[in-house]
Chain A
Amino acid sequence: MTSDKNMEERNDAFDSAIRERLSGHEPAVPHALWTRISAELNESEGVAAPAVTDIQAPVATIPWWRVAAAAAVVITIGASSLLYTLQPKTENTVAAAPATVVHTQSAPAIEIKEASQVAIAATPAVAKKATTPTVVEETSPAVNTVVADKADNSVKDVVAPATQDQDAALASAPAVTPAATMDLGSIPAFSLKRLSAPESLNDEITIIKSAPSKKKHHKHGEEEEATRVIILNKKFDSQPDIRYQLPVRF
């Protein structure tokens, strides 16, 4: 009996000690717990997250400024192509603007450089001829006709004899292999107009040699064998075009 009473007393003491020890125990609560509780309350109240069917699929949109830039580029390219297509051909331009031809004829230095592959620089007479009013008149159709008529036998009138210095320059010039040889008589009217075209730097040229002919040298009074060289530009059209007539010593 006493033992049971003591046991109860000990148990009561132990229980009260436990209660006292745990009183005021307030452990730290995880911070994210309220978020979870709030989410569960929202879900139970019907404020759930939108269903999958309510979510619109992302649409690939292009910003307006990109569209505008692309349109500007397309319009620019289109307009440029149209203008390039509609612009007159080179021959038409030259024929319609003879004044331009005359102007470019006054720059023989550039012309000589362009044709330096065939030692055109050794023919000052040509450059001189080009700068003279007489040559300018060649741009007219009438003069062209006259010159064309004389093409087969008027070389001596047009081409001045080369000096010794010029001969040396010709000798030092790189050898050029003619791509084609044709009779001068078949060459149509020529002009110097094409020399004005800046594209001549990249022109594909062909050198045509005529049969050697005896020619009297002006200064030395000697006769020498000269060959007429005609430079053809294949790039502009299929019609052969005489650029120069040069005496070349082979």
Chain B
Amino acid sequence: MAVAIKPTYSEQDIIEGCVKGDRKFQELLYHTYCSKMFSVCLRYANEYSTAEDLLQEGFVKVFKNMEKFRGEGSFEGWIRRIFVNNSIEHFRKKANMYVVQETEALTYEYYDDNALSKLMKEDLMKLIQSLSSGYRTIFNLYVIEGYSHKEIAEMLGVTEGTSKSQLARARYLLQKKIVDLMPHMKYQLPDQEATI
């Protein structure tokens, strides 16, 4: 029985090959990170086809800017930033993306802590995608990517207050969607009010 032995390349070999424009190394890099980057794109996109477009645009930008990678920090982090920035740029064109919402008292039904663990990853992804683009972007940047409100404000060109309010509303809507999806997992907290 013949066993195909694939040659193993280090991350540095792949980077150097991509810098030279070698299509073989570019494909190797694509297959290494395509799934992780597609997950990023799905979170920032509102639908599957848009995520595909974001993934394609992101990899093209990665291959065109390979020589700019100086080896500072992780290579995966560098690629992820490119995809995040590309997704933000994609939705920045939409008007009224970050409309400042009026501060209002939101009384919400808190959900059970075990609700998320019982939720499928794909279902959670769809719930995030169902958020409006402004809420979704700030929620992803703050909760998933770990950016601070200050960084988000600089990235998106908004105030920190706007970032905070958008995040609070995005969080509230997401929890509400989770409860709506799994009504048996909710319970009413007495006298629980949140002022956002």
Contact = CB atoms under 8 A, between A and B. Distances in A.
Given A22-B124, A34-B27, A27 B175 contact: no
Contacts of B125: 22, 25, 27
Given A25-B39, A37-B59, A45-B21, A18 B30 contact: no
Contacts of B165: none
Contact of B60 (A14, A19, A44): A44
B52 A40 contact: no
Given A30-B52, A37-B59, A45-B21, A17 B117 contact: yes
Contact of B34 (A21, A29, A45): A29
Interface in B158-188: 171, 174-175
B46 to A, nearest CB: 15
A33 B171 contact: no
Which of A28, A38, A44 is most buried by chain B, counting CB atoms within 10 A of its CB?
A: A38
Given A18-B144, A44-B64, A33 B56 contact: yes
B15 interface: no
Contacts of B34: 29, 33-34
A38 B30 CA distance: 10
Nearest to B39: A25
A17 B112 CA distance: 12
Contacts of A36: 56
A102 to B, nearest CB: 89
A7 interface: yes
A8 to B, nearest CB: 11
A151 B39 CA distance: 120
Given A22-B125, A27-B42, A36-B56, A14 B30 contact: no
Interface string A5-16: 001001101110
B113 interface: yes
A145 B175 CA distance: 134
B81 interface: no
A240 to B, nearest CB: 96
A41 B124 CA distance: 34
Contacts of B121: 21-22, 25
Contacts of B27: 34, 38
B60 A26 contact: no
Contacts of B117: 17, 21
Interface of B: 21, 23, 26-27, 30-31, 34-36, 38-39, 42-43, 52, 55-56, 59-60, 63-64, 110, 113, 116-117, 119, 121-122, 124-125, 142-144, 171, 174-175, 194
12 contacts: A15-B171, A21-B117, A21-B124, A22-B125, A26-B36, A27-B39, A33-B55, A34-B31, A37-B60, A40-B56, A40-B60, A45-B21
Given A25-B39, A27-B39, A40-B56, 19 more contacts: A7-B194, A10-B110, A13-B113, A14-B116, A15-B142, A18-B124, A19-B144, A21-B124, A22-B39, A22-B121, A22-B124, A26-B35, A30-B52, A36-B56, A37-B56, A37-B60, A38-B26, A41-B23, A41-B60
Interface of A: 7, 10-11, 13-15, 17-19, 21-22, 25-30, 33-34, 36-38, 40-41, 44-45
